[in-house]
Amino acid sequence: MAEEMLATRGIEVSHETVRQRVLIFGQGRANLIRWRLPAPRDKCHLDGV
């Protein structure tokens, strides 16, 4: 999918290049997303129900 998006912009990359970049940067981004998600123990209170 990333290859296709870049190809529409005129950037040609190989599948292997995309795979290597995901290995380098993917885990760090995933950790940031998990850090921002609310934990199951978090409570949400609604006012005026």
Residue 44 DSSP label: -
- Give the pLDDT score at 30: 82
Give Cα separations from 13 to 5, 39, 48 (angstroms): 10, 38, 54
- Give the pLDDT score at 23: 86
Instruction: For residue 14, give both structure tokens.
Output: 């190989």
- Give the pLDDT score at 14: 84
Mean pLDDT per 10-residue interval, the chain, length 49 residues: 83 85 84 72 66
Instruction: For residue 10, give both structure tokens.
Output: 């005129």
Instruction: For residue 5, give both structure tokens.
Output: 């998006």
- Give the pLDDT score at 37: 65
Q: What's the CA gap between 49 and 46, in Å, rounded? A: 6
- Give the pLDDT score at 22: 84
Q: Cβ–Cβ contacts within 10 Å for residue 17, how many?
A: 13
